[in-house]
A and B are shown apart, each in its own frame.
Chain A
């Protein structure tokens, strides 16, 4: 069974999208851990490692993504955890490109179909080399 963590870093409280995605993935047969809001990058990375998740989804709508996502990627690398990371939220196009260059596998904006996310998450995990 695919084990996925949906996390909300930073101070952003907009959790509707994160919850809908978490529930979609759960209904698609995955084991889902939702962290709740206001997690620090350190907390998120630590729980992703402790829980040994296959993939990590990060939701941010506050505009803090260019600080928080790189921080999470850096901490994962430091801890030698090769967990694929995808991002959802309000992310301007230019930042999407930058995040992907840094190693984020996909970025989902408003209006994305959740079934599409669920299909892709499955395929990311199947094709990841961990």
Chain B
């Protein structure tokens, strides 16, 4: 059938259907999360150029970054974990590895992420709460005790203090006998989204970009298997962005990092291979699948066309996915298992390289061991029972999926153009533009929940009286005391002359344009703390002040 014939037939069908609406009206209007009308029916007329869909492992990678995808190797099942002390977290990691998890993912507490020691006044109440407390190399040695770093791959959610934690990891690895060029893993190291959404920034954007570029340079020479950044849309989405904004702002951050590194003289064909991404998997199942496919295609185009990259490996958008914490409900928490399953399935159908599935109780507290087990088993069921991993990109060619993919690409590129007009992401953040766009969307969404236009099962519809007898994980408040005790003992027992010397070398290097990684590695090795190293850099770089939007 030619397009013309099809169009005619479609029009006839559409007219008849509209007649029927008088008797059988539809339930309402249907829109995407970015407020575009969704048509009643999608047909081959929506399919664009097949080149845009293409083949897996081939530019523009809409269908996936590898030729065989999950037929060759399943995604890495990687649960984000960490709380309390290094010793407790070490036990959780060993438990997860025993349960069949294939990679580690470390959650640090907020003081570690923001560069304060556990005994700093800013750390009050936060030690060991949202992740593990790491003050010095000694804690890091405990964290990975009995876990061979030469064999596992480790993802660390660490940004402003990424250089310090990477330096610690490398030291622990080498003490275990694993050379730095053999270590595999990822640091998040994406500070731009911290200004936008997540909040663990320390320094102003310019020095932050310098530290990030230093890490790129260091790793491309000495840690070739390490993913130097995980450019993250997750937190942007969780802050209330829609699917288009998530893709647009993440890739715009990516552009800014590549631009900074190129300006510092690095070759995008080389460091581009070690860039990785991190997205959320939200509730709108088909939209999410399309989102991952669109992001992959857009990044390939950006690297090729904007940065003249010729190495295909440096055009491939590889990503981690986490199911969406903000969609989990405190009401009827068991329902969250189903939400997580749908979200995880979308991530897999979108071609993720690794996946964290949230636990049912995360709207209430950090997850219990039992809840984490169900979350991990959810991935195993998708991988081994559902059949979706048997062929590559099974939803390609769906009229609706391809149409959504095209639409996300189009709208996200419009945002990216707008940000470029504003002078790039740093300017767009400093002016509050990006934060305001997200905040508007998040507020509209909340209003829809209040009006009942958006239904959340168990929250604004199908509610039940609930008794609160939920078994929750509680992080012991004694942890703070214990951690401070260990930190003080360390400060007494280490060679403080060596520490002072290493910190003064670091300060001198920070005042030049030289790479910060080497002096940080040296400082960490003599047990200088996260707080001490960060304070040296605070002194030289200053601190960022949030541009407040509501």
Residue ranges of A at the interface with B (Cβ–Cβ < 8 Å): 10-16, 19-20, 22-24, 26, 32, 34-38, 40, 62-68, 71, 90, 92-93, 109-111, 113-115
Complex: how many Å from CA A71 to CA B130?
20
A110 and B238 alpha carbons, distance in the complex (Å): 14
A32 to B366, CA, bound (A): 31
Distance between Cα atoms of A111 and B199 in the complex (Å): 23
Q: Please indicate the chain B residues that have their CB under 8 angstroms from the CB of A35 in the complex.
A: 548
Partner of A68, one of B111, B113, B124, B194: B124
B365: which A residues are within 8 A, CB to CB? Answer: 63, 90, 92
Please indicate the chain A residues that have their CB under 8 angstroms from the CB of B410 in the complex.
Answer: none
* CB atoms of B456 and A111 under 8 A apart: yes
* A92 and B472 contact, CB distance less than 8 A: yes
A65 → chain B, closest Cβ, in Å? 8
Q: Residues of B within 8 Å of A, CB-based: how many?
A: 48
B198 lies within 8 A of A71 (CB): no
> For the complex, would chain B's binding face be called helix, strand, loop or mixed by DSSP majority?
loop
Interface contact A36-B548, CB-CB below 8 Å: yes
Other than the known A13-B197, A23-B439, what 15 A-B pairs have Cβ atoms closer than 8 Å? A13-B194, A15-B199, A16-B239, A16-B240, A19-B442, A19-B549, A22-B550, A37-B546, A38-B114, A40-B122, A66-B477, A110-B328, A111-B331, A113-B450, A113-B460
Contacts of A15 in B (CB 8 A): 199, 239
Contact between chains at B546 and A11 (CB < 8 Å): no
CB-based contact B364/A36 at 8 Å? no
Q: Which 9 A-B pairs have the closest CB atoms?
A: A13-B199, A67-B125, A64-B125, A11-B110, A63-B129, A110-B330, A36-B548, A111-B459, A22-B550
Cβ < 8 Å to A, chain B residues 437-473: 439, 442-443, 446, 449-450, 456, 459-460, 468, 472
Contact of A66 among B113, B125, B130 (CB under 8 A): B125
Which residue of chain B lies nearest to A26 when distances are taken between CB atoms in the complex? B550
CB contact list, B289-345 vs A, under 8 A: 326, 328-331
Bound form: Cα–Cα A119–B240 in Å: 24
| Alpha-carbon distance A114/B444, docked complex (angstroms) | 12
User: Are B130 and A63 in touch, CB under 8 angstroms?
Assistant: yes
Measured in the bound complex, the distance between the Cα atoms of B240 and A23 in whole Å is 14
Question: CB distance B459 to A34 under 8 Å?
Answer: no
Give chain A residues whose Cβ lies under 8 Å from the Cβ of B116: 11
Instruction: Show 26 residue pairs from A and B whose CB-CB distance is below 8 angstroms, ordered by the A residue.
Output: A10-B110, A11-B113, A13-B194, A13-B197, A16-B326, A19-B549, A20-B240, A20-B443, A23-B443, A32-B550, A34-B550, A35-B548, A36-B548, A63-B130, A63-B475, A64-B124, A64-B125, A65-B125, A90-B330, A90-B364, A93-B468, A110-B328, A111-B330, A111-B331, A113-B460, A115-B450
Give the CA-CA distance A64 to B110 in the complex, in Å.
10
B89 CB to nearest chain A CB (Å): 15
Interface residues of B (CB under 8 A from A): 110-111, 113-114, 116, 121-126, 129-130, 194, 197-200, 238-240, 326, 328-331, 363-366, 439, 442-443, 446, 449-450, 456, 459-460, 468, 472, 474-475, 477, 546, 548-550
Minimum Cβ distance to chain A for residue B371 (Å): 15
Interface centre among B125, B126, B365, B459 (most CB of A within 10 A): B125
Closest to B131 in A: A62
Chain B residues near A36 (CB-CB < 8 A): 546, 548
Give the docked Cα–Cα distance between A123 and B547 (Å): 32
Q: How far is the CA of A16 from the CA of B169 in the complex (A)?
A: 32
Judge whether A71 and B124 touch: CB under 8 Å. yes
In the complex, residue of chain A having the shortest beta-carbon distance to the beta carbon of B83: A63
**In the complex, which residue of chain A has the Cβ closest to the Cβ of B449?**
A113
Indicate which residue in B123, B472, B477 contacts A11 across the interface (CB closer than 8 Å): B123
Bound CA span A15–B199, Å: 9
A19–B199 Cα distance when bound, in Å, is 14
Closest to A11 in B: B110
Q: B442 and A68: CB pair below 8 A?
A: no
- In the assembled complex, the Cα of A123 lies from the Cα of B153 at a distance in Å of 54
- Assuming A37-B199, A37-B546, is B124 touching A16 (CB within 8 A)? no
Q: How far is the CA of A126 from the CA of B157 in the complex (A)?
A: 45
Q: Could you say which residues of chain A place their CB within 8 Å of the CB of B194? A: 13
CA distance A17 to B50 in the complex (A): 43
Q: By the criterion CB–CB under 8 Å, are B240 and A10 in contact?
A: no
Please, how many angstroms separate the alpha-carbon atoms of A66 and B297 in the complex? 47
Q: Please, which residue of chain B has its CB at the minimum distance from the CB of A18?
A: B550
* CB–CB A40/B121 < 8 A: yes
- Residue of A with least CB distance to B438: A16
For B197, give the chain A residue with the smallest CB separation.
Answer: A13
Distance between Cα atoms of A16 and B194 in the complex (Å): 14
Question: In the complex the two chains form, is B126's CB within 8 Å of A11's CB?
Answer: yes
